[in-house]
Structure 1
């Protein structure tokens, strides 16, 4: 409502007091100009179209002329200020939808320790579309103020991760984004309806009266129903054209089927309205008579009782959105088809494949592409002619999905995940990770008998040597420290590296009884063995390499000075020596995004690192190799001892992002009581899963290991 006129008045105060006392709400007042610029302009003319794959840059659009961004910022800031002013420790902030994308980041600036969740209720487009926004980075950074970001379905989650990877050069993982100073979890959780509340409303006398009235009115007719906003995204025009084609091709159904289309008005000045009215008029003029009207078109909403009655008596619901998040009308329709009012309809659901809902239903709906009129017309025919057994089977599966993904399930699941990821992030936060205590480490070492060390190589045991440069010899001090530790037979050591097996053989030939992990987990050489075990499937590796090489060659041609390194299990795109580093970094970011988008099914991913992009298998990592090593040690025990852990001391030291999974795995063994003493150590000052940090770098690691060797 307009609020400028209320400035300083008692009425404004009364509104604020009543919302606070009766509804437990805080009021955010914005100027009328700010609200209009924010909602009518930026939200509806820029964000809404882009999120639904419509670029607001056609001749009829004034989207980029009205400078509405500043109003969007202003309204978001008003919300953030109100929250910051009233926030108390322990409060949870949950921000919803595209109207408030900047609020999480604004709150995070003022309240670095707040627990913030964000959920987007509409689709999230591919990076190609999102990058068209002039303020793309500001919007993403605003969202990334949250601890947990939620989307309706996996596709939107993937688009968001790829967009952040491409536009912000953030490292995208399957479960979230690793930023420089913290981790942001990203999940998909489909929202649903409240079946309990719906059931109560359906029992009202008014609903029953309308059901009886409409059954009588449409006796002997098959009913297809639809209720949509009349905007370009909802596909009302496509639906009517498909229905017209159906009647053209199936004369036997004329006079026996009615489409009831409820069209909710929107703020759009609608040529669409005129187009839709023309189609309705044409269809009705062709096949209507005194007793029959093929399309009933209502240009206003109906009340809730009529709506529920309509869903109850329908033989099919038709949704032809060109893009949409969750279409909850389809959930309500399926619930209303359960036979509460006598006959069990088990009507069919014709649903656009471009809705988020479509991914929930496992093919039990009649999925259509709204632009394919022939297929839509065929789906109408299938829906009307489907046998009762087939309808019941499909409806049962659909109803199960609706009853599982309810509103309360969505709410509970999101809050549980927000609690969990907030605690994990707090644990990971650098400020809460203590420095490694040499005294405590020495005590843990002395009171154990069977010890396993898993040590990263580059940046941990040696302080130089990017993986594409040949290191002729490992520094002597590193070799001496490892040999000293191995003098104690109770110690087992594995060194893990991104290098090739033959390089590691050469580097550590003077350290007998050392275990090795090469190419970030694709090869393992067990202690006392001469041969390497290849963890990954060679055929699978060669298959994905062929397709990825084509992509990398494309980017190589466009990045002078960059080079491609091929290893047995990975490919590395190096651009540190590129002629124009900034352009090369952008190309590399695009390259990683492209590979992650197109090669997911081949189980590979691209990881942007400093000066390079590494493409490697998802299924074989340093962590999976560490698990293999642990299991092999367990198998080496006698049959009577295999129920217990093969070691009682486990120490993992690393400095890179790929070491984080090994820290997490090792910490899990400690938390579950499998291994008595677990020490995980990260170098440097980045956020980490490790239980301790060492800030002296490689020399600190070697000093710590030397001290342990002296205790044996």
Structure 2
């Protein structure tokens, strides 16, 4: 099984060297960084547009040690103009970023877009063999999944949409909205950067096509398409190592020495979605209001050239450079220039030196699918502050950033003052918090997870699939097992496909299924609205049809008065028990919060249980182990399986092990479980395989 990647941009660009020969240089960007190592390891084919040197149709890369091939697509100048510059960047790009006044919908450009997508799809089909997986990338190739599906109904096809998916009232302005959705729904797995984008996409499918949708899924005929929020990460270790390199440290110090002021850094592709004019206006307002900052604060704006032939981008460049000139003309004094403007890209080493030198990083797009610059700064900075637009997809992932509204010029100006006055301890705590989040969604994990989940059943351990022939009693935890761990428990929506898999098991002639959780049963039913599903809540205190014992509220109130109040601590009152979550506490402070919770005196008849970044206080005499034993006693003759991820699930693992059943651990860590699955997506793939063995 090989991987076939399709993208508009190629992973290596041809460059003619001094010797007159063509050499291949790795493209800068997240996609190449993410997929090139996988392609080098696994082999396969990458299909992309031959923007330059179109005479070279096939090349094996990397140049020094070729491991995979690139098939380069030659496009006519008309198709480049109409499809790439026209429909892709003149219609889909502005529409997706909510700039409807810039969107132009032209039939001629749509026809060219279809032709280009057909060309890419045919190139993929020509080089594919049975069992190969296809992974298509971004808005330029949205029709490709449907075209491949029609030719290969059984193919495994993934798609990642890298820009925002807009709200339905914006998307419906596109005259070819049905055709675009039909093309995308040829995929088995569609990835987007944020839950908001996936919700908008599901609404578009329901309202435009009338398709059946559920949490993270769309029903297309006999197929179920999964639609998931999977924000792309960065190679955190690489940026941390570069930032710590003595050469980078020295380079950063020279930057600061040359400025001799505090440094505000902005790095953007020159695009109207990035909010550069609004940011410059905010900096001008800042200098106008805070005269003491003049001569003490410098804004460094790196504007990376983009789509230079497009009139809209030429006008934007003129506007930005005019604003830079006006600010410098108005405020320059005594050899100090307020704005240093660089109209060029920076190589990675130079970029990281700028990240390390900056006192604050301003990432203030008016709309952005994600924004990797924000993540790179968080991984590289030692003591800087990240100011991040609430309209960037990355804002959901970086809790340590200072959120700003790029449309609020005065508010952004005021936030600059706060950032520059922020105590060092708070800066470091915020950076630690962001780095912890970044490590949980590393770039390589993003790639591996997507490909594994795209493979679906084929990636599961065969010994688990063989169990399907037996009558199974399948018992699952909820958080971390049927749903990804969420920063806030109320946001823990089930893994896409979980509802369908559980529904299939509930109607299976041989199998039984139940959920055993630390949550209240009502909470789980709100996520999994399946009336026939047995849910045992509160670690075995709450059973269907049985009221729990009266809650000991006075004990809970006394306990709550002793909990630490550090930033990021969240107390979850479950009425009968209380859980204290510290997942969102800065990493440097988590151990002290944990110690404080472990030292809270216990009342008679109460116990403290340990979970992932949580301590829960509950009456003694309960637990998932006891609940699982009771469920097994009630279903003799069924082969018991328990699937869980947390330390609170260990007693359940021991219970099924003692009964001769199977225990399955989700994720890493020491465990008594016999088998591991990687994540909730793998759990859902397994449950789906048991529910629908065909």
When the two structures are superposed, what TM-score results if normalisation uses the length of structure 2?
A: 0.60
Distance change >3 Å, CA 234–CA 421, structure 1 → 2: farther
**Does residue 242 of structure 1 match 2:242?**
no
Give, in whole Å, the separation in 1 of the partners of 2:54 and 2:283: 51
Q: Identify the residue that residue 329 of structure 2 maps to in structure 1.
A: 285
**Does residue 312 of structure 1 match 2:353?**
no
Give, in whole Å, the separation in 2 of the partners of 1:385 and 1:400: 24
**Does residue 406 of structure 1 match 2:442?**
yes
Q: Identify the residue that residue 634 of structure 2 maps to in structure 1.
A: 646
Residue pair 1:228, 1:263 contacting (<8 A) in 2 also: yes
Q: Per-residue displacement from partner, 1:73-123 (whole Å, max 9, x unpaired)?
A: 111111111111211122111111111111111111111111111111111
Distance change >3 Å, CA 290–CA 155, structure 1 → 2: same
SS at match of 1:24: strand
Give, in whole Å, the separation in 1 of the partners of 2:112 and 2:629: 69
Give, in whole Å, the separation in 1 of the partners of 2:219 and 2:370: 28
2:121 counterpart (80, 87, 100): 80
**Does residue 263 of structure 1 match 2:303?**
yes
Give, in whole Å, the separation in 2 of the partners of 1:336 and 1:621: 46
Q: Identify the residue that residue 204 of structure 2 maps to in structure 1.
A: 163
Q: How does 1:581-600 map to 2 (within 5 A)?
A: none
Residue pair 1:633, 1:646 contacting (<8 A) in 2 also: no
Give, in whole Å, the separation in 2 of the partners of 1:45 and 1:263: 21
Q: How does 1:455-534 map to 2 (within 5 A)?
A: none
Q: Identify the residue that residue 39 of structure 2 maps to in structure 1.
A: none
**Does residue 389 of structure 1 match 2:389?**
no
Give, in whole Å, the separation in 2 of the partners of 1:125 and 1:641: 48
SS at match of 2:632: coil
Give, in whole Å, the separation in 2 of the partners of 1:369 and 1:224: 17
Residue pair 1:147, 1:422 contacting (<8 A) in 2 also: no
2:97 counterpart (52, 55, 79): 52
Shift of 1:617: 5.7
SS at match of 1:25: strand
Shift of 1:67: 1.5
Q: Identify the residue that residue 624 of structure 1 maps to in structure 2.
A: 533
Distance change >3 Å, CA 272–CA 643, structure 1 → 2: closer
CA RMSD of aligned residues (A): 4.2
Residue pair 2:243, 2:352 contacting (<8 A) in 1 also: yes
Q: Per-residue displacement from partner, 1:577-619 (whole Å, max 9, x unpaired)?
A: xxxxxxxxxxxxxxxxxxxxxxxxxx99xxxxxxxxxxx9655
Q: Per-residue displacement from partner, 1:491-522 (whole Å, max 9, x unpaired)?
A: xxxxx99xxxxxxxxxxxxxxxxxxxxxxx9x
Shift of 1:416: 2.1
Residue pair 1:241, 1:373 contacting (<8 A) in 2 also: yes
Shift of 1:128: 1.1
Q: Identify the residue that residue 230 of structure 2 maps to in structure 1.
A: 189
**Does residue 25 of structure 1 match 2:67?**
no
Q: Identify the residue that residue 377 of structure 1 maps to in structure 2.
A: 413
Give, in whole Å, the separation in 1 of the partners of 2:168 and 2:73: 33
Q: Per-residue displacement from partner, 1:649-681 (whole Å, max 9, x unpaired)?
A: 79xxxxxxxxxxxxxxxxx9xx9779xxxxxxx
Distance change >3 Å, CA 14–CA 103, structure 1 → 2: closer
Distance change >3 Å, CA 24–CA 646, structure 1 → 2: same
Distance change >3 Å, CA 187–CA 25, structure 1 → 2: same
Distance change >3 Å, CA 13–CA 634, structure 1 → 2: farther
Give, in whole Å, the separation in 2 of the partners of 1:213 and 1:639: 63
Shift of 1:689: 7.7
Q: Identify the residue that residue 211 of structure 1 maps to in structure 2.
A: 252
SS at match of 1:150: strand
Residue pair 2:185, 2:220 contacting (<8 A) in 1 also: no
Query: For structure 2, which runs of at least 5 residues remain unmatched after alignment?
Result: 1-8, 15-52, 461-467, 474-505, 508-513, 515-519, 548-625, 639-655, 664-687
SS at match of 2:70: coil
Shift of 1:209: 5.6
Query: For structure 1, which runs of at least 5 residues remain unmatched after alignment?
Result: 4-10, 339-345, 425-433, 435-439, 451-495, 498-520, 522-534, 538-602, 605-615, 651-667, 675-686, 694-712
1:365 counterpart (401, 405, 417): 401
Q: Identify the residue that residue 388 of structure 2 maps to in structure 1.
A: 351
**Does residue 253 of structure 1 match 2:286?**
no
Distance change >3 Å, CA 373–CA 17, structure 1 → 2: closer
Q: Identify the residue that residue 664 of structure 1 maps to in structure 2.
A: none
Q: Identify the residue that residue 321 of structure 1 maps to in structure 2.
A: 365
Residue pair 1:634, 1:645 contacting (<8 A) in 2 also: no
Distance change >3 Å, CA 392–CA 109, structure 1 → 2: same
SS at match of 1:178: strand
Distance change >3 Å, CA 263–CA 642, structure 1 → 2: closer
Distance change >3 Å, CA 407–CA 536, structure 1 → 2: closer
When the two structures are superposed, what TM-score results if normalisation uses the length of structure 1?
A: 0.59
SS at match of 1:279: helix
Shift of 1:633: 10
Q: Identify the residue that residue 219 of structure 2 maps to in structure 1.
A: 178
Residue pair 2:233, 2:442 contacting (<8 A) in 1 also: yes
SS at match of 1:26: strand
Q: Identify the residue that residue 150 of structure 1 maps to in structure 2.
A: 191
Residue pair 2:56, 2:72 contacting (<8 A) in 1 also: no
Residue pair 2:138, 2:163 contacting (<8 A) in 1 also: yes
Residue pair 2:355, 2:381 contacting (<8 A) in 1 also: yes
**Does residue 131 of structure 1 match 2:172?**
yes
**Does residue 331 of structure 1 match 2:375?**
yes
Shift of 1:125: 0.8
Give, in whole Å, the separation in 2 of the partners of 1:77 and 1:92: 18
Q: Per-residue displacement from partner, 1:316-361 (whole Å, max 9, x unpaired)?
A: 00011011012111122122213xxxxxxx1000000000100001
Distance change >3 Å, CA 12–CA 101, structure 1 → 2: closer
Residue pair 1:147, 1:421 contacting (<8 A) in 2 also: no
Give, in whole Å, the separation in 2 of the partners of 1:282 and 1:29: 44
Give, in whole Å, the separation in 2 of the partners of 1:332 and 1:152: 16
Residue pair 1:19, 1:26 contacting (<8 A) in 2 also: no
Distance change >3 Å, CA 25–CA 536, structure 1 → 2: closer
| Structure index of larger Rg | 1
Distance change >3 Å, CA 392–CA 17, structure 1 → 2: closer
Distance change >3 Å, CA 252–CA 415, structure 1 → 2: same
Shift of 1:626: 8.3
SS at match of 1:622: coil
Give, in whole Å, the separation in 2 of the partners of 1:623 and 1:116: 33
SS at match of 1:124: coil
Residue pair 2:133, 2:455 contacting (<8 A) in 1 also: no
Q: Per-residue displacement from partner, 1:455-485 (whole Å, max 9, x unpaired)?
A: xxxxxxxxxxxxxxxxxxxxxxxxxxxxxxx
1:301 counterpart (335, 341, 345): 345
Give, in whole Å, the separation in 2 of the partners of 1:633 and 1:692: 32
Q: How does 1:62-81 map to 2 (within 5 A)?
A: 63-65=104-106, 67-81=108-122
Shift of 1:49: 0.6
Give, in whole Å, the separation in 2 of the partners of 1:643 and 1:274: 71
